[in-house]
Structure 1
């Protein structure tokens, strides 16, 4: 398992080793001891979520008010997503910086993001499926959003899917009216 920090401190990409034979593949996608050694922190699991998305579905940028904050460990189990992490921690030297990782069912990478970081995923093909391991149960009163197309953040969203076909972005009504980055406090 290879774990490296992204350009946004507090976010890591985890690339597991895959063991393949005539039966298929085995992947150890999370191991607490290796995770703690690489990140310097434990990960307490409180909730697991799974979402399935059509090509072009853009979920986020979502975050949880900090404190209490919510850490997430995100893994694509089918298809492909562009996973984007945004530093939304006021006072952070990397406030407003974002980084992205391709999560797919080929390399089987995961992304861990610490409390206070924003998160978005863009599905790059139909039926893409992602699981989120969360450190805090969903609490609507702490739920926050930022517009994924905010010009200040200037996230470089792909315009074509994994198959090379053009993507039409699909967002929830809530994400469509998300406030700009300048509203984060």
Structure 2
């Protein structure tokens, strides 16, 4: 696998070594030892999640606050998404900045997002199956997020806002300036 750091400290893109032949392909999608070596510390994933979405569906920008925060290892097994992490670590030099990664069934890349980040994605293909590992269990009381169209973040989602399918709950999320203490 190839590890590519991003401008946001701790966020990395993982590209697997894919073995192709006339039967198809094979690759190792996850190995605890290799992964922990790549990030430089032990991450204990405790929950796997999967979503199915259609073109234009936006999910995010979600987070778990404080002690319930989650690191995520995300990937796409069908289709293509633009995946975004926003740095919300108050003492980080990149606080309030984001990084976007195109994840697809073709490139088989994975994006690791450590604790202290908001996360979201938009589906660019007709359909997408999105999978991710979390290192902490979901806690409803600790859920939070940021509005996808926050002008301070100025995220380019790759399609006009009018074409996005956003849940009513996500439309109610605050802008960064109004989010308060997120516990990072």
Q: When the two structures are superposed, what TM-score results if normalisation uses the length of structure 2?
A: 0.93
Match of 2:118 in 1: 118
Q: Does 1:173 align with 2:168?
A: yes
1:145 maps to 145
Indicate the residue corresponding to 1:80 in structure 2: 80
Aligned pairs for 1:31-180 (under 5 A) are: 31-159=31-159, 168-180=163-175
Cα pair 2:68 2:137 within 8 Å, conserved? no
SS of the residue 1:67 aligns to: helix
Cα distance change on mapping 1:131 and 1:167 into 2, 3 Å = farther
Over 6 Å off, 4+ runs: none
Aligned-pair CA distance for 1:167: 7.9
Describe the SS at the equivalent of 1:152: coil
What is the CA–CA distance in structure 1 between the aligned matches of 2:129 and 2:37, rounded to whole Å? 28
3-state SS of 2:3 partner:
strand
Q: Could you say which residue in structure 2 is the equivalent of 1:30? A: 30
Structure 1 residues 10-57: Cα deviation after superposition (integer angstroms, max 9, x where no partner): 211100111111111112122222222221112212111100110001
Q: 2: CA distance between counterparts of 1:106 and 1:167?
A: 28
Q: Distance in 2 between matches of 1:126 and 1:42?
A: 36
Could you tell me the TM-score, scaled by structure 1's length?
0.92
Aligned length: 180
Unaligned runs of 5+ in 2: none
2:68 and 2:139 in contact (8 A); partners too: no
Q: What SS does the aligned partner of 1:36 have?
A: helix
Taking a change above 3 Å as real, the CA distance of residues 28 and 159 of structure 1, as seen in their structure-2 partners, is same
Match of 1:163 in 2: none
RMSD of aligned residue pairs (Cα, Å)? 1.5
Deviation at 1:7, TM superposition (A): 1.2
